[in-house]
């Protein structure tokens, strides 16, 4: 007699049910959920969900690895920057010694010009200390009075280095014009023995950095900075034309001396060369005018900005020149490939 209900199956002999049970036992042993709607309703997940979870776990693991690699890269970059600063310091010291000992005139004026390199090295070291103090004050949200005092000290030191530079130019304008106190990359970008004032007021240097790092600049401030930039450009172009005219005049004088006699020992040639030397004396005046322009632009920009903006601007400008100095070491350390 059949013990099953009408239309039912014998569970002990149904091969399909045996397969389903074996499939479920296999999934249970593997820690997976069988794709059965009754199991899902009991709070378990289907294979698609499990795959998505596995993919999410893998993505999270890769993200952690990328973050770890990024942190390690930052730490490594910090160490490289620290070493770079040490190399720059050593290079500056060695550069000053070379410039002082390798081209040492016997005259008193030459000694005065050489001393500027040493003074500039000391000034630069002290300047960075003052800027670090200003950076700490800005980071600590110091009051305007404290920031103003530090900014005043920094600007007073700038006046001092320009005064020392003027004395060196009076002693030997051409040594100042060559900028041998700086790194090779700095010397490549020199204009009349220093920086172009307009560079500090042009995009993408000061204006963009001020707008992004400081309290927003007003339209009036932006207009004033643009007027300063245009004024600086006009003055720079005028001085550049004077420099070019001086070069042309000296070149013509030296060429005339060579065409008027067969030997430079002749009186005519000696007289022409003396004229050329006299014309070169105008170089000191051009350097002085260039430094006066730099100081004027710095002072007028300072008047345009608020105290806090001015403090941050000093940091931005200092960082800009520090990166320019670092370019020389980065250039020397760059990877090079052999030429086939």
pTM of the model: 0.65
Long-range contacts of 79-87 (CB under 8 A, 24+ apart): 84/326, 84/329, 84/330, 87/329
168 in Cβ contact with 113 (< 8 Å): yes
- How far apart (Å, rounded) are the C-alpha atoms in residues 304 and 222? 9
- How far apart (Å, rounded) are the C-alpha atoms in residues 129 and 140? 17
Torsion of CA 86, 91, 97, 100, to 10 degrees: -140
3-class DSSP assignment, residue 36: coil
Long-range contacts of 76-79 (CB under 8 A, 24+ apart): none
Furthest C-alpha separation in the chain = 147
CB atoms near residue 53 (< 10 Å) = 11
- How far apart (Å, rounded) are the C-alpha atoms in residues 115 and 165? 10
- How far apart (Å, rounded) are the C-alpha atoms in residues 82 and 153? 27
**Alpha-carbon distances, residue 229 vs 130, 240, 290, 309 (angstroms):** 27, 16, 15, 18
Per-residue pLDDT of the chain (340 residues; tens, 9 = 90+): 444 443 444 444 454 445 455 545 554 444 444 444 444 444 567 888 888 888 888 888 888 887 777 677 666 666 666 666 665 565 555 444 333 333 444 444 556 667 888 899 899 999 999 999 999 999 999 999 999 999 999 999 999 999 999 999 999 999 999 998 888 899 999 999 999 999 888 744 455 455 555 567 888 988 999 899 999 999 999 999 999 999 999 999 988 886 655 555 566 678 888 899 999 999 999 999 999 999 999 999 999 999 999 998 899 889 888 988 899 888 888 887 654 4
């Amino acid at each position: 007699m059949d013990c099953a209900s009408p239309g039912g199956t014998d569970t002990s002999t149904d091969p399909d049910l045996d397969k389903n049970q074996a499939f479920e036992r296999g999934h249970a042993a593997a820690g997976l959920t069988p794709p059965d709607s009754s199991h899902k309703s009991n709070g378990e997940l289907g294979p698609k969900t499990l795959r998505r979870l596995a993919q999410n776990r893998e993505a999270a693991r890769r993200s952690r690895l990328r973050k770890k690699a990024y942190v390690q890269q930052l730490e490594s970059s910090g160490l490289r920057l620290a070493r770079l600063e040490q190399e720059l310091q050593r290079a500056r010291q060695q550069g000053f010694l070379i410039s002082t000992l390798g081209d040492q005139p016997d005259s008193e004026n030459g000694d005065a010009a050489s001393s500027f390199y040493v003074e500039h090295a000391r000034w630069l070291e002290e300047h960075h200390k003052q800027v670090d103090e200003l950076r700490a004050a800005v980071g600590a949200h110091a009051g305007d009075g404290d920031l103003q005092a530090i900014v005043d000290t920094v600007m007073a030191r700038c006046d001092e280095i320009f005064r020392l530079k003027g004395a060196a130019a009076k002693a030997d304008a051409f040594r100042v014009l060559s900028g041998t106190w700086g790194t090779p990359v700095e010397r490549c970008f020199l204009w009349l023995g220093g920086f172009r004032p307009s560079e500090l007021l042009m995009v993408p240097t000061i204006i963009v950095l001020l707008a992004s790092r400081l309290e927003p600049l007003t339209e009036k401030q932006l207009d004033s900075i643009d007027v300063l930039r245009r004024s600086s450009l006009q003055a720079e172009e005028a001085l550049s034309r004077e420099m070019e005219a001086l070069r042309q005049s000296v070149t013509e004088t030296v060429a005339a001396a060579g065409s008027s006699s067969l030997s430079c020992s002749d009186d005519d040639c000696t007289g022409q060369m003396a004229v050329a030397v006299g014309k070169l004396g105008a170089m000191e005046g051009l350097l002085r005018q260039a430094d006066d322009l730099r100081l004027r632009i710095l002072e007028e920009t300072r008047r345009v900005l608020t105290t806090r903006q001015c403090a941050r601007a000093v940091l931005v400008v200092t960082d800009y020149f520090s990166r320019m100095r670092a370019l020389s070491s980065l250039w020397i350390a760059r990877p090079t490939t052999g030429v086939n």
